Amino acid sequence: MTLTGDTPTGGTLTGGTLTGGTLTGGTLTGEILTGRYRVGQMIGGGGMGTVYAAQDERLAREVALKVMHPALLATPAARVRFEREAHTLSALTSPHTVTVFDVGTVEVGGLPGVGFIVMELLRGESLAQFLARGAVPATEAAEVLSAVADSLGEAHAQGIIHRDLKPDNILFARAHDGRHRVKVIDFGIARVSGRPKTVQGGILGTPHYMAPEQCADQGDAQVDARTDVYAMGIVLYEMLTRRRPFEAPQALAIIVKQLTAEPPPMAGLGSDPFLRAVEPVVLRALAKAPADRYPTMAALEDAFHDALGMVTQSVDFDPTEHLTVRFIPEIVAAGVPDAEDAATVAFRRPPPTDDALHAPTIVEPLPRVPTMPSAAALRSTPGPLPPPPTALPVRAPRRDLGLDLRTITLALLALGVLITGVAIGLAIGG
């Protein structure tokens, strides 16, 4: 059994060493590839390749350069997967998918034909890094879901299944205005309809996020959009609870749980109405049988938003009782480049806990849902999108007047004396 996956945002150089030629220290730093790309520092790596910051000398812009490990030249399947990633990404245009600028091959350490991919350079943090600091409020998890659904919805429409969706592959990329755009990265093991399988008798993916049909190696015919829906269900579960549903010391034990075990109830539901509302949605996404899951990412997105909407429309829900303290960065809405969307003016942060180390930065009131169009409504509304709603004014926090029984009694006695004095004065005057 072979378990493979690639995470450009972290890790070390693996799969062989870069030797020979003018390479120094086992890296390409300082080299100029194809007379155009000046290679800077290594910023990440994984099983398929190493990622560098680089400068496009022709267009005078910073880029990310992913170079295949030269040792993989001897593995035809690995070469095919690397080339497939480049062609897969070049076909996608969602603002929430990492953008590819160029592809090619170069000689590395005397070895010709080493593939490279030139992509946009993303500055920011991964969802995995945020989860190391605390759980994500359900209403902010909805924003991440919308962005991922936009990215993978386009990919699925073109027959592309990511197969390795996880927090490491969801980035918050800083924009020029200080806000962030969610980006889905690493399509290195994506399955493309009509293409031959690159690994025979092996399993591709990260065990914690693999759907049962991946774990059982049922073949590419069983892998479809619902496979990514399952992975997104695990990501949602982890965002909301700060733990993954299936844990074990060994990868094989995790795979067995993915195939046979039911996810435990989401911890910390307590008095949080949002978590209670979305738990059934997350658990349906984690159904063992693909037919029992949501059929598309859009269907999962709609169900999640609708569950939150049911809470805010409840007669017992008062949005002014809580202030919004954002945990994840303010992000640009899915499908609305450089514009703030009603669905992302969110929402409530649970009370801080001892392990919540991230300092909040933005405080906003919670708008009522009737002013906030659903994801389905936004997709079905003709013409331009409606403007975002005006947020409710922030009410001053309630003040504790500290009135105890003794204070109230003294106040009543004083009032009685005052009334008696007024009555005596009126009697004398009469």
Q: Which positions are annotated as active-site residues?
A: 164
Q: How far is CA 206 from the centre of its chain?
A: 16
Query: What count of Cα atoms within 13 Å lies in the side-chain half-sphere of residue 300?
Result: 37
Instruction: List the beta bridge partners of residue 106.
Output: 114
Q: Distance (Å, rounded) from C-alpha 205 to C-alpha 222?
A: 15
User: Is residue 119 within 8 Å of 188, Cβ to Cβ?
Assistant: no
Q: Distance (Å, rounded) from C-alpha 13 to C-alpha 35?
A: 24
CA angle 75, 76, 78 (to 5 degrees): 70
